[in-house]
Amino acid sequence: MIGLPALYTLAGLVFAGWAAATLLDRQHPRRLRGAAFWGLIAASFLAGDALGDMGNGVLVLALVGLALAGAPGKGQPATSSSEDRAASAAARGNRLFLPALVMPGVALAGTFLLPRLGGLFDPKQVTLVSLGLGAMLAAAALMAWTRPSASAAVQEGRRLAENVGWAMLLPQLLASLGMVFGLAGVGDIVGSLAPLAIPDGSRLAAVVAFTGGMAIFTILMGNAFAAFPVMMGGIGLPVLVLGLGANPVVVGAVGMLAGFCGTLLSPMAANFNIVPAALLELPDRYAVIRAQVGTALPLWLFNTALIWGFAF
């Protein structure tokens, strides 16, 4: 059955390719550190299950140490000149948009088709499997059509990966921190403290404590999914639903959306806020969050008002 293990092998090979290309890049200012950084991520994908918990833990510490020492750094991946690109754009015109549609197209088709192919694909991993298939198809089509040098896929990927830099690791590491927080009982403690912030009997104060708690705890955890059980268990269910008779459907559905307003403001939500700033080569790491403040705050007020007005 094709599922996560096959994807991890593919991802491991991609990172191993970047490690090798970095090692061969004589103009890379931090060649060995950069190669070690990509190599360790490749090792995690290819052999993570064999390393054991302690081995993986040491691998994480080594990756973070390398990042603090300047890895992965930026080398000189071979790419086309801006003249080449302009000429290619002029010659190929709007057909250039077609490869950009391959990955979304495969994602779309895969969502509907893969679960019907019997036991061939892991039904729980349809999204990621579609992504892997789409990436391979699109890469093959682009190599066949534009005929760059054989190593172009590796070098072009490395060029973007070096732009993103150590921030690439942040989403996975934050998800791991969430698990360690869970193990340490952080959510339970916050959930037991949260009700203390509400004056007795005030409906509006209880709603604000709930939606505010959702937003703030989401900002701290970077993920509304981590905040939801905590705030719902601490305030939403005992105080709003059971204590004040609120409709659990409205409290649950809109409370989650109040948390999403927090995601827009959280540097911990690296995938959405920090990684794109790196991908777009913006000098301010928090530029995307700054652009979202003016949307997040009014929407949080709207969600708070929605629960206050319609849940009772």
Partner 1 sequence: MTTLPSLWPLAGIAIVVIGFGLRANPLAVVVLAAFGSGLGAGLSVAEVVAALGKAFNQNRYVSVPWLALPVIGLMERAGLQEQARRVIASARAATAARILILYLGLRQITAALGLTQIAGHAQTVRPLLAPMVEAAAERDNPAITEDERHKVKAMAAATDNVGIFFGEDIFIAIASILLIKGFLEGAGIIVQPLQLSVWAIPTAIAAFAVHGLRLWRMGRASGKAG
Sites for partner 1 among residues 236-295 (CB under 8 A)? 237, 241, 248-250, 252-254, 256-257, 260, 263-264, 267-268, 270-277, 279-280, 282-285, 287-288, 290-292, 294-295
Tokens of 221: 């955890």
| 188 binding partner 1? (CB under 8 A) | yes
Backbone angles phi and psi of 119, in degrees to 5: -90, 10
Under DSSP, is residue 252 helix (H, G, I), strand (E, B) or coil? helix
Q: How far is the CB of 20 from partner 1 (least distance, A)?
A: 14
CA gap 135, 102 in Å, rounded:
8
Q: How far is the CB of 284 from partner 1 (least distance, A)?
A: 7
CA gap 276, 289 in Å, rounded:
10
Under DSSP, is residue 2 helix (H, G, I), strand (E, B) or coil? strand
Binding to partner 1 (CB under 8 A) within 77-96 occurs at 79-80, 82, 84-90, 92-94, 96
Binding to partner 1 (CB under 8 A) within 123-162 occurs at 125, 127-128, 130-132, 134-135, 138-139, 142-143, 145-146, 148, 152-161
Q: How far is the CB of 119 from partner 1 (least distance, A)?
A: 20
Query: What is the distance of C-alpha 81 from the center of its chain?
Result: 31
| 230 binding partner 1? (CB under 8 A) | no
Query: Half-sphere exposure (CA, 13 Å, Cβ side) for 74?
Result: 6
Task: Specify the residue for token string 């905040």.
Answer: 227
Q: How far is the CB of 251 from partner 1 (least distance, A)?
A: 9
Q: How far is the CB of 92 from partner 1 (least distance, A)?
A: 7
Binding to partner 1 (CB under 8 A) within 26-85 occurs at 41, 44-45, 48-49, 51-61, 63-64, 67-68, 79-80, 82, 84-85
Q: Stretches 22-30, 114-122, 184-192, 199-207: which one binds partner 1 (CB under 8 A)?
A: 184-192
| 207 binding partner 1? (CB under 8 A) | no
| 22 binding partner 1? (CB under 8 A) | no
121 strand-pairing partners = 2
Q: Which long-range contacts (CB under 8 A, 24 or more apart) does 35-39 make?
A: 36/62, 36/66, 36/71, 37/63, 37/66, 37/67, 37/71, 37/72, 37/166, 38/72, 38/161, 39/15
The single-letter code of the amino acid at 11 is: A
